[in-house]
Amino acid sequence: MNAIRACIRAARMIKEEGAVPLVGYVPPIPKLEKTGIDDYFVNAQKRSVAYPKSYNPLEGDFADARPVGPNELIEWLVEQKDEAGWERDDVLPELRRAAIWARVWHERERRAWHAWTRRAAKTFFVGQDEIEQMVAHLGLAQRDEPKASSWNDFDDGKILEHCVPILNHAFRLLVDRNGTERIFQVNDRNEATLQQSNANIHKALHDALKAEFGTVPPARLLEASNVLWKKETARLAEEPEPFCFAGDDRVCFKRFDWKPAEAPFPAWEEFLTRLSDREAFMAFVWSCFEKKNRSRQYLWLRGEGQDGKSKVLGVLLEVFGPAGAAINNSHVEKGNQFFFSALYGKRLVIYPDCKNAKFGMKEIVRNCTSGDPVAVEFKGETPFTTVLRIRLFVASNTKPEFTSQAADRSRIIYVEVAESASKDDPTWEERLKAQLPGFLWSCKATYERVCAHHGDIPVSEQTKAMLDEAAVAFEEQFHDIFDAHFSEAPGEAAPAKPVATILRGYGMNNNQINDFKAWMGRVHRVVYRPRKDGRVYEGLAFLPSSVR
């Protein structure tokens, strides 16, 4: 049993580092009562001499290594049973091994162990008492429990024995380098939900202790258990993953039970045929599922309306569940200090009805997509700093506006959507959902072909021309104003106040003046500089017609 305990400790440490531990049992050697690892290697050496070309322990004796999680172990046994055609007599010895492992794994978690035995008994049609008998030799019989009236005697030792395992089963703790704590509740699928208070922690303890001892535990015990648990529990090494596919058991916000599979997707194809850059759209869709992608791009879908773009984004958002979010105009208002709390733990974010054509130039877009640290603040909670890895979709009826500046142009994937010929198909949305595996399989193939290095997604020549046109349209007024009032003048300097007066005469606000200032720097090498005698634009002169 001590060997299993040590193996479990090692497996948990490996999992905490983000790797996937597997366990292999040393196969018995004939005529030996017990086979140790040294016996195995001596015998393996003999076999390798006898069969030098064909013998490979990793492909033979340890080819079917087992997962370490007790619940995953049940699923592994089911797979082995189905594949090998095991009968009951074949299953019981393997179930016994699994039960011994699970009993030691849940050594201090009585409720979790009983839940495991119920699931195993139901899965393999055996009695719970039969499973209990398989582990009776371990000597881990439950200790006498304290009486219901002895809460005052519940010291740290009893909290460690009874309360900490309850919290270990349902919660995970993350502590930043600066000491900020974040607690996540996890379900049986290892999906995490950030806790903004201790309410769920106290409820889990309250319900479990009341069921165990028959009376309501005092609030002071719940709080003391929470404090001690934070000191004793194994901490998460990093933020939960936004999502994980089947087979990856790391803590995440959303776990997909499926993987893309090659299949037709006519409902999606109808939409793709109406896009100005279908390849970029498909590659960007898969980048949402590709954790290695580190591009800073976002995708802007623009159509006149009745083109299906909102339904398409809604279907994609539904796929991500708690790892996705939709934002609206109120979320992106200036001064919303809680904006990033709505995006924490999200991978996909959609802005389905954007009214602001200049949204792409906002600082929050860069904060969301660039991978830079941002301050996340929930109401009533201490702010903390983290990195958001968000893939952003924006949909609008108006064309986006942005400057020719590389920081603006390089981030946007601009895709036009043509109007749909069929506007009254009530089955289209459901067909989009049903055909997702095939569509995503094709998106994955497209992404791997055009974005093998997980950087920026390339766009078509048509998209590049649309970006040029949009930048020129946005800056056309700047050209007109400059030609009417100013000229390049290296070595000279124009006072800033008269420049602002001219620009406000054209109805410009502070943000637009800043855009004009940046444009003059890019196009005419004009530098805005504060001086002791006032603020000036170096390299700029007024035309005679503008001097009053």
pLDDT surpassing 90 at residue 311: yes
Q: What is the chain's mean pLDDT, rounded?
A: 86
CA pair distance 331, 338, nearest whole angstrom: 9
Q: What is the pLDDT of residues 118-144, one digit of tens each?
A: 888 888 888 888 998 998 888 775 544
Binning pLDDT at 50, 70 and 90, where does residue 145 land? very low
CA pair distance 191, 541, nearest whole angstrom: 62
Q: What is the pLDDT of residues 74-83, one digit of tens each?
A: 888 888 888 8
Verify that 427 and 288 share a domain, yes or no. yes
Q: What is the pLDDT of residues 48-61, one digit of tens each?
A: 655 555 555 545 55
**Token match 């005529």: residue?**
31
pLDDT number for residue 141:
58
Phi, psi of 139 (to 5 degrees): 70, 30
Tell me what percent of the residues of the chain surpass a pLDDT of 70: 92
Verify that 341 and 473 share a domain, yes or no. no
Verify that 168 and 119 share a domain, yes or no. no
pLDDT number for residue 105:
85
- Say if 171 falls within a structural domain: yes
Six token digits for residue 541? 């002169």
At which of 99, 114, 138 does a domain end? 138
Q: What is the pLDDT of residues 476-519, one digit of tens each?
A: 889 999 999 999 999 999 999 999 999 999 988 887 888 899 88
If we measure between CA atoms, which residue out of 400, 398, 403, 399 comes closest to residue 475?
403
Verify that 183 and 123 share a domain, yes or no. no
Verify that 215 and 270 share a domain, yes or no. no
Tell me what percent of the residues of the chain surpass a pLDDT of 90: 41
- Say if 489 falls within a structural domain: yes
Binning pLDDT at 50, 70 and 90, where does residue 294 land? confident
Show the beta-strand stretches assigned E in 401-475: 412-416
Measured CA distances, 342 to 315, 325, 351, 376 (Å): 20, 8, 13, 9
- Say if 244 falls within a structural domain: no
Query: Which residues form the domain of 533?
Result: 467-546
Dihedral of alpha carbons 220, 225, 230, 235, sign: negative
pLDDT number for residue 29:
73
Verify that 130 and 158 share a domain, yes or no. no
Binning pLDDT at 50, 70 and 90, where does residue 538 land? very high
- Written as one letter, the residue type at 67 is P
- Say if 343 falls within a structural domain: yes
- Say if 58 falls within a structural domain: no
pLDDT number for residue 82:
81
pLDDT number for residue 548:
57
Measured CA distances, 301 to 23, 142, 311, 431, 462 (Å): 48, 61, 12, 21, 15
What does the pLDDT average to over 459-473? 91
Verify that 170 and 273 share a domain, yes or no. no
Verify that 276 and 132 share a domain, yes or no. no
Verify that 450 and 473 share a domain, yes or no. no
pLDDT number for residue 24:
79
What does the pLDDT average to over 253-282? 92
Q: Report helix, strand or coil for 58.
A: coil
Verify that 307 and 355 share a domain, yes or no. yes
- Say if 32 falls within a structural domain: no
pLDDT number for residue 167:
94
Query: Is residue 77 a contact partner of residue 83, using CB atoms and an 8 Å limit?
Result: no
Verify that 473 and 454 share a domain, yes or no. no
Out of 40-44, 120-124, 198-202, 453-457, least confident range: 40-44
pLDDT surpassing 50 at residue 147: no
- Say if 127 falls within a structural domain: yes
DSSP state of 265: -
The residue length of the chain stands at: 548
- Say if 247 falls within a structural domain: no
pLDDT number for residue 545:
82
Out of 42-46, 197-201, 287-291, 356-360, least confident range: 42-46
Binning pLDDT at 50, 70 and 90, where does residue 148 land? very low
If we measure between CA atoms, which residue out of 241, 237, 251, 248 comes closest to residue 188?
251
> Where residue 327 sits, what CATH number does that domain have?
3.40.50.300
Alpha-carbon Rg for the chain, nearest whole angstrom, is: 31
Total domains in the fold of the chain: 4
CA pair distance 137, 117, nearest whole angstrom: 16
Of the two residues 110 and 235, the one the predictor is more confident about is 235
CA end-to-end span of the chain: 94
Edge to edge, the sheet with strand 412-416 lists: 324-326, 348-351, 391-396, 298-302, 412-416
Verify that 426 and 311 share a domain, yes or no. yes
Q: What is the pLDDT of residues 399-421, one digit of tens each?
A: 998 888 887 888 999 999 999 88
